[in-house]
Amino acid sequence: MKQNLTWKEILRRVDKPARYVGGELNCPTMTGEGTRFCLCMPDIYEVGMSNLGVRLLYHRLNDEPGVECERCFTPAMDMVELLRQEEMPLCSLETHTPLKDFDLVGFSVQYEMLYSNILLMLDLAGIPFRASNRGEDYPILIAGGPCAVNPEPYADFFDIVNIGEGEEMLPEITALYARHKASAEGFNKQRFLEDATHIEGVYVPALNTPEHRSVVKKRYLADFEHAYYPTAQLVANLEVVHDRAMVELYRGCANGCRFCQAGFYYRPIRYRSAERVASLCHGLTDGTGYDEISLGSLSTGDYPGLKKVLSTLKPESEARHYHLALPSMRLDTFEGEFSSLAKTSSLTFAPEAGTQRLRDVINKNISDEDINRSLTAAFLRGYNNVKLYFMLGLPTETDEDLMGIVEICSRIRRLYREATGRRDVTVSVSCAVLVPKPLTPFQWEAQIHPDEMLRRQLLVKNALRPLKGVTFHYHDNTTSELEAIFARGDRKLSYVIERAYELGACMDGWTEYFRYDLWKQAIRDCGIDEREYLDAQPLDKPLPWEFIDCGVTRRYLEKEREAAYAATPTPSCNKGCRGCGCQTKEGCNRYNGEVDA
């Protein structure tokens, strides 16, 4: 029942009210004029504020003349209940403006289990779910982010889907909106959307249907060296998941791991020079006050100027009292000297598979010799905590491959004893479930059945149990099954998302809220055959996302799939172009700087 609580009274009743008040360091002053854009992340504040893409786009739009960008994140469930109880609409952080009063509302869709939260936010905002049910009185809804690789399951909810990188695309969309709004005829949504289709990377689902397809070309930043990168970035009001500044060393990846969607989607490979990286790090410490800067990319150890960046920044970081952090490293690129240049609390490596044969299948070009050499060097420098990431359910995987995970853990314990004479090493093993993703050579593979996946998980768990100091964690395979359905889904699945939300599904990325039974019921209620998406896909079948030109050709993915079944690795792009199709006229994989020896 409505109690007529004030906003301040509501804040006193929720956990972590700092999630909802805005006013962070480096938050721009809003006037409520010009084109008003609300950037949404369908997850809670602590997750959304950790996302570099959200921060980049927020500042990029606010630096655009005539544009004001505000933010909104999914409220935690205690706030959701109070908003519903008080019949208060979901509002932005900066000016507490209802979402439905903005000109444009954009959602960054990071992974499939956020789909129900999109509907939760629209419901709280009083905005109809489907684009076909929204007239001129509602904002233009835009989606983007990694899930734009295949936007079809949620396409019917949006007016526009941005395919690719948004730093240039969103300012062009807002500029087009301003021109249409200022036209003598007045704003007309249909005319605006028709004109928006001429912006590279823009997909308008209502005008580009499965029955009448047009190719949409992925948008990417050609000049990454000089790309927009704010140093006076937002600093969160409370501790967030990744509570640090971050600098991207490069985009794309040269390694071509056959399960990795990001490695193919973010091609062509584009580097920043070591000098530019160092300059951005200096600017971030001045502009944010963070005491830790992460040097990020899909495979940080492959950055050609990494040693130069670290050695250049070490005296500066010591003088300014900040740390440099490196994410997970490839075992073949880790060098012990990195540990003296960057802060790492533990070693984090991703062998992905337990045997050399299976690593060749997935094109994870690391060897047992790489593992032995890198770990021995690390142990000699004082490390005694190792985190390892593997995947289960890979094509051609056998129980022998699974036992290879156990063998690697045993070898780590032996290597540590030989290097140090001690036994106090700890090994943390995490095993994810392979989800066959679009735009990878495994996009045609079957998703392993949950019962079989559980058998494999328990096999590894029980085999690791006798090893002292080794812990084992594995992902929920029911969540992975749903991810697989939506990763390869089509527009029919929008009805499943809508029905699951009606049944109560939301916050599906959080274990305590995820309800597998609701999703299964929604699939049944909508008459969907889930095997259509989970079983192996015929090679001659047109796939729902193939109207999008992401650069990498279907033929190249087919060739890589053939190489996988032959257990034949493909060398890194750093050793020569592999002809994937994404190279540009300027060339691919260019690094304008001094390469580490």
% the chain with pLDDT above 70: 94
- What pLDDT, on a 0 to 100 scale, did the predictor assign at position 348? 83
List Cβ neighbours of 18 (8 Å cut-off, separation of 6 or more): 45, 237, 238
- What pLDDT, on a 0 to 100 scale, did the predictor assign at position 383? 87
Over residues 120-149, the mean pLDDT reads 98
- What pLDDT, on a 0 to 100 scale, did the predictor assign at position 316? 83
Residue-wise pLDDT for 53-95, tens only, equals 999 999 999 999 999 999 999 999 999 999 999 999 999 999 9
- What pLDDT, on a 0 to 100 scale, did the predictor assign at position 343? 52
Which has the higher per-residue pLDDT, 576 or 48?
48
521 is written with which tokens?
């019921």
| CATH numeric code, 7-217 | 3.40.50
Q: How confident is the model at residue 342 (pLDDT cuts 50, 70, 90)?
A: low
Angle, nearest 10°, between helix axes 77-86 and 115-125? 30
pTM of full prediction above 0.85:
yes
Cα separation values, 218 from 81, 116, 308, 388, 540, Å = 39, 25, 33, 33, 23
Least confident of 36-40, 280-284, 403-407: 280-284
Query: What is d(CA 562, CA 441) in angstroms, rounded to the nearest whole number?
Result: 9
Of 330, 322, 325, which is closest to residue 302 (Cα–Cα)? Answer: 330
- Ranges for all domains in the chain classified under CATH 3.80.30.20: 245-489+552-575
- What pLDDT, on a 0 to 100 scale, did the predictor assign at position 109? 98
- In the sheet with 67-73, reading across from the earlier edge strand, the strands are 67-73, 35-41, 104-108, 140-144, 160-162, 202-203
**8 Å CB contact between 260 and 365:** no
**8 Å CB contact between 219 and 266:** no
Query: What is d(CA 244, CA 296) in angstroms, rounded to the nearest whole number?
Result: 12
Residue-wise pLDDT for 541-558, tens only, equals 999 999 999 999 999 999
**8 Å CB contact between 166 and 131:** no
**8 Å CB contact between 330 and 301:** yes
- What pLDDT, on a 0 to 100 scale, did the predictor assign at position 586? 57
- pLDDT of 333 > 70? The answer is no
Query: What is d(CA 154, CA 115) in angstroms, rounded to the nearest whole number?
Result: 7
Over residues 28-54, the mean pLDDT reads 96
- What pLDDT, on a 0 to 100 scale, did the predictor assign at position 349? 86
Which helix (H) or strand (E) element contains residue 360? helix 356-361
- In the sheet with 347-352, reading across from the earlier edge strand, the strands are 347-352, 385-392, 426-433, 470-474
State the DSSP code for 588.
S
336 is written with which tokens?
């012990």
- What pLDDT, on a 0 to 100 scale, did the predictor assign at position 327? 74
Query: What is d(CA 162, CA 169) in angstroms, rounded to the nearest whole number?
Result: 8
List Cβ neighbours of 165 (8 Å cut-off, separation of 6 or more): 201, 219, 220, 221, 251
CATH 3.30.565.10 describes domain 245-489+552-575: no
- pLDDT of 1 > 80? The answer is no
Over residues 553-575, the mean pLDDT reads 96
- Ranges for all domains in the chain classified under CATH 3.40.50: 7-217
Cα separation values, 407 from 15, 175, 274, 364, 413, Å = 45, 58, 39, 18, 10
302 is written with which tokens?
């492959």
**Averaged pLDDT of the chain:** 93
